[in-house]
Chain A
Amino acid sequence: MSNVPKEAIEVIAQSIGITNLSPDVALALAPDVEYRVREIMQEAIKCMRHSRRTVLTTDDVDSALNLRNVEPICGFASRDALRFKKAAGHKDLFYIDDKDVEFKEVLESPLPKAPLDTSVTSHWLAIEGIQPAIPENASIEAPSDGKKAEYKEDGLSVDVKLPIKHVLSRELQLYFDKIVDITMNKSVSILFKQALLSLATDSGLHPLVPYFTCFIADEVARNLNNFPLMFALMRVARSLLQNEHLHIEPYLHQLMPSIITCLVAKRLGNKFTENHWELRNFAAKLVASICKRFGHVYHNLQPRVTRTLLHAFLDPTKTFPQHYGAIQGLAALGPSVKTVLSLFSARSEERKNLEIYSPKVFVYLYYQILKRICSFLNLK
């Protein structure tokens, strides 16, 4: 009848040494126990609310018990929830997993770091009603749709706004120009590293994302021969992708071609000495990270990338660097793709060295590998 079965009462009675509890008593006690528990919980919830929390803790229950003049249950003040484990061999029997702790170990272990003291910081949540884009504030993409709904619902849409031009604040414009300048001209300086860090962490950059993606796409298309610039651009792209405050998804379609280009382009840079392999590795990692992050949103992203790379890879007319890029890209995409390529991944290092010294040897080796992969794919 009640949520507390009378069996529970019997078990508890046994555990405190009462063996001859009559079933009637258990039956009468069970509903009362439930009532008392509910009563305590009601008080505990009050305590929780007055502690300005929305999650009930053991402290609240203790305060509630105090309110009722009942001795609080000590020993459950840990922050984690108790872990109940299933008893082996029983279906519905659980126990609390208590670890044995050696006194010696506890005494000998170094003191834990003292918790940081409470402090207060201040920031502007809004200036004349407008939220400044600073790291302390939540990024402002989400509420936009909610807001529209609010206006509609109100029926008081007095301030109907005409479609306005995308306004970029002066500060942001300066910032963009500066970053572009550094990327184009000083991509080896420490300043560039700082700029990348800023791109990767700043929360107020969202309005600039379309400009940056456009910039990268343009410059990659234009400067295939300029190896250092290409590398710098890829780094900028990576920083943008790392920044968790940015909502970069809508711009992926602009970004992806540039990155894939850097991965499987026929020629990168105009000098033989330039280590374009590294750039390809870098771009491969970038592609992989994109697939990992947005793969669940765009379910056809990874298949498309894989197909592109595989095409490049299986086409014998393509050059080595292109093949190399394709392999790297596929390898970076993850275990499932990797298993296909695991056959030769061990030799990639070897191959790179070979390639530099004797291209012909590499050609031979390479086609060997290719054959084996093709046979593997067929098998599958």
Chain B
Amino acid sequence: MENMQAVNSFVAAYLKKKGFKEAEQLLEDLQKESAPIDFHNDPDLAKFIHHFSQSEDDVARYQDGYSKLRSWTYSSLDLYKHELLRVLYPVFIHSFMDLVAKGHLQEARTFFNAFHEDHELMHSRDLQKLEGVLSQSHLEEMEFARSLRQNKVNIKICQYSYGLLLQYLHKTQSTAMLGVINEHINFQVTSGQPGSISDDTEVVTLIGSCQDAASLINQKEIHWGLLEDSLEERLEKEGGLLSDSEKAEAENKEGDVDDSKKRSVEGGKQGASTKKLKKDKAVNATAKSARPEAKPTPAAPRVKPELTLPVMSTEVEQSILEDLRNRVQLSSVALPSVSFYTFLNTHNGLNCSSISQDGSLVAGGFSDSSLKVWDMAKLGQQAGSSTLQGENDSTSSEHVAGPNGVKRSYTLFQGHSGPVYSATFSPLADFILSSSADTTIRLWSTKLNANLVCYKGHNYPVWDVQFSPVGHYFASSSHDRTARIWSMDRIQPLRIMAGHLSDVDCVQWHVNCNYIATGSSDRTVRLWDVQSGECVRIFIGHRSMILSLAMSPDGRYMASGDEDGTIMMWDLSSGQCVTPLMGHTSCVWSLAFSCEGTVLASGSADCTVKLWDVKTSTKAPKNEEKSGNPNRLRSLKTLATKSSPVYSLRFSRRNLLFAAGVLSKNV
């Protein structure tokens, strides 16, 4: 009898450990009902226990169980199939890791090879990582595997599917599968109809801990509005006073417009750069006449700045106001003009490029640690004075002519000791920041052509650095999995944002400077409060490394682009994806919103610039009714370059789009 007791308590403990609550309950009930259980007379239970003892060492059960579960799932009812399919992937990876953990490496490999193709489409990158796991020590060492092992996966499933699954598992007595499911999957059973297939995105990113935490974090309040007393606001107020004089002015100008436009089109053919500024004006002048018709956009809420902002001089303010007044209104029918800067003869060494706000300066960071800055205005003048011949070679040959190589067409900034991965201009283009593999960020003055400060703080290569929209502050992101906030006058970072599970690959400021967004190799985008340094939003949905971010000018939306060419639009307040924008076939290196936020431009490694309509839903109510798919954002135009991957994009204040890329023969 004592023996019996021991067995009972052992079984109970075992069931508890494995999380078989139902079985545990059953056992307890049985014990209450009839104190001594005769195991030998109860064939079911005996069989059950027999299975357990067997499954401890019988690795084939995993393979067998999984393949049965798989075929059962595939032959299940169509309505519930996609929900049940979601279960397969976690079961697959955990079975694999279980096998590895138990030391059956050979079997683990055959198991992996047998079934990994099912998940290749959705999870190819995860699988690539897991494929390399070949021993127990790897499981512990690899962060991805560890976080998978430690955390449960949440799967939303409807009542009926859940019932089906349980029924199947009980009927077939596939204990190995039951164990895996109990241990690693947390079912959120919902009553009613099964969810739609498109909900899949939630399951795609298995990053463990974040699932619960993310939803918690995403409930925090954020203030996405624009800054109080911004220039644009002031312009709106002034607008009332100015409008009369402006109209008169516009009328006067209208006669000139046609002329100058014609000229600029010719200019575009011969030497685009010479006529650039003129064209910019011409375009704007045409828009001016159309301006009064455009409705003022609904005002975004205003928020107070959390940082002390630098003071702007009145002249600068005036010039910005002038630009704002002359801005072209872009929409799905009025597309922007795009000026493309092509880097030639880079010998595969260009890592990044950046364009100043007005497009007059272009910087390139090279893998030979140098930073080069071209003054496009000067380049244009010289090309103009020399006869307008094919501009490709004339400019470069002119400048390099000096025998000592002293005269270059660019300003060379040397100081870094590793590849330069990112460069950014301050809003007024008087400073450049560059980040490098040598773990430093350097501040350069474009007026003095000299290095001013070297910021040391990161421990690993700094992948990205971005000036805040008001200047003075900047944010950096690094391989050391942190993002940091700096101000120009301090050599120590002001804030360190830690939390990403992998490299932080890109960083972007919110327009009101109170938040920064970071994109990471862990396939999430996070939004951080600059003042407190806390993570306030986690955006989950990308399937690969995030390469570029952009904030809409009204502060409400964010776009992120990834390695696969997917662009996602996020609503900052809800933390939800508005819609994915599909179209690019390769890495999206750069994203930019137009100044009033109606058009999103994306530049990609597939040698195209794409323009997206991001205001369809709000601006065209008629279309909504017809299409019945109101939230759908659409591609407006694909501008193909001649084998130049597009590295960076920038809208000027007047809504002229600048793009930069490198001419590469082998793409």
Contact = CB atoms under 8 A, between A and B. Distances in A.
Given A53-B348, A129-B335, A38 B395 contact: no
A122 interface: yes
A130 B335 CA distance: 8
Contacts of B134: 1-2, 31-32, 34-35
A134 B463 contact: no
Contacts of B589: 52
Interface in A117-142: 117-132, 134, 136-138, 140, 142
Residue among A2, A54, A120, A124 having the largest count of chain B Cβ atoms under 10 Å: A120
A101 to B, nearest CB: 22
Given A46-B503, A120-B344, A122-B376, A129 B611 contact: yes
Contacts of B129: 38, 42
B105 to A, nearest CB: 6
Given A50-B421, A117-B400, A158 B623 contact: yes
Contacts of A372: none
Contacts of B547: 49
B348 A32 contact: no
Contacts of B351: 50-52
Nearest to A45: B545
Nearest to A120: B374
A138 B639 CA distance: 9
A156 B337 CA distance: 24
Contact of B340 (A35, A53, A122): A122
A147 interface: yes
Given A46-B521, A136-B642, A146-B638, A118 B391 contact: no
Contacts of B395: 119, 121
Interface in B406-462: 408-410, 419, 421, 437, 460-461
Contacts of B349: 118
Contacts of A128: 283, 334-337
Given A49-B563, A147-B638, A118 B410 contact: yes
A193 B91 CA distance: 73
A52 B350 contact: yes
Interface in A133-172: 134, 136-138, 140, 142-143, 146-147, 150, 154-156, 158
Nearest to B109: A1
B272 interface: yes
A57 interface: yes
A155 B634 CA distance: 10
Contact of A124 (B272, B461, B640): B272
A137 B641 CA distance: 6
A174 interface: no
A89 B340 CA distance: 55
Residue among A115, A134, A155 having the largest count of chain B Cβ atoms under 10 Å: A155
B276 A52 contact: no
Given A49-B505, A154-B634, A54 B283 contact: no
A363 B543 CA distance: 78
Nearest to B620: A158
Contact of A120 (B336, B343, B605, B609): B343
A66 B637 CA distance: 42
A136 B666 CA distance: 17
A39 B128 CA distance: 11
A219 interface: no
A379 interface: no
A355 interface: no
A158 B621 CA distance: 12
A360 B616 CA distance: 82
A59 B547 CA distance: 20
A117 B396 contact: yes
Given A53-B348, A126-B337, A132 B269 contact: yes
Contacts of B106: 1
B338 A124 contact: yes
Nearest to B611: A129
B600 interface: no
B605 A115 contact: no
Contacts of A124: 268, 272, 337-340
A123 B347 contact: no
Which of the four size classes fits the interface of chain B?
35 or more
A115 B345 contact: yes
Nearest to B328: A128
B293 to A, nearest CB: 17
B372 A127 contact: no
Given A46-B503, A127-B337, A137-B641, A118 B343 contact: yes
A63 interface: yes
B634 A156 contact: yes
A129 B496 CA distance: 42
Contact of A118 (B338, B364, B583): B364
Interface in A20-73: 31-32, 34-35, 38-39, 42, 46, 49-55, 57, 59, 63, 66-67
A63 B341 contact: no
A39 B132 contact: yes
A143 B586 contact: no
A118 B641 contact: no
B410 A138 contact: no
B361 to A, nearest CB: 11
A106 interface: no
A120 B645 contact: no
A120 B611 contact: no
A120 B378 CA distance: 12
Contacts of B660: 120
B48 to A, nearest CB: 34
A41 to B, nearest CB: 9
B344 A32 contact: no
Interface in B35-60: none
B280 to A, nearest CB: 11
Given A119-B395, A128-B336, A46 B479 contact: yes
A54 B120 CA distance: 21
A143 B635 CA distance: 13
B104 to A, nearest CB: 11
Interface in B548-574: 563
Nearest to B599: A129
B226 interface: no
B186 to A, nearest CB: 29
A120 B379 contact: yes
Interface string B126-147: 0011011111001000000000
A116 interface: yes
A39 B349 CA distance: 24
A54 B336 contact: no
A55 to B, nearest CB: 7
Interface in B106-138: 106, 109, 128-129, 131-135, 138
B101 to A, nearest CB: 14
A116 B349 CA distance: 13
A54 B586 contact: yes
A125 B639 contact: yes
Interface of A: 1-2, 31-32, 34-35, 38-39, 42, 46, 49-55, 57, 59, 63, 66-67, 79, 115-132, 134, 136-138, 140, 142-143, 146-147, 150, 154-156, 158
11 contacts: A46-B545, A52-B645, A117-B396, A118-B347, A119-B343, A120-B374, A120-B409, A129-B637, A147-B638, A156-B627, A156-B632
In the A-B complex, list the 7 residue pairs whose CB atoms are closest, starting with the nearest.
A129-B335, A31-B134, A38-B132, A119-B396, A125-B340, A125-B338, A124-B268
Interface of B: 105-106, 109, 128-129, 131-135, 138, 265, 268-269, 272-273, 276, 279, 283, 334-352, 362, 364, 366-367, 372, 374, 376, 379-380, 391-392, 395-396, 399-400, 405, 408-410, 419, 421, 437, 460-461, 463, 479, 503, 505, 521, 545, 547, 563, 583, 586-587, 589, 605, 607, 609, 611, 616, 620, 623, 626-627, 629, 632, 634-643, 645, 647, 659-660, 662, 666-667
Given A129-B637, A132-B268, 11 more contacts: A42-B129, A49-B505, A52-B647, A52-B662, A67-B461, A122-B376, A123-B272, A124-B268, A126-B335, A129-B335, A136-B340
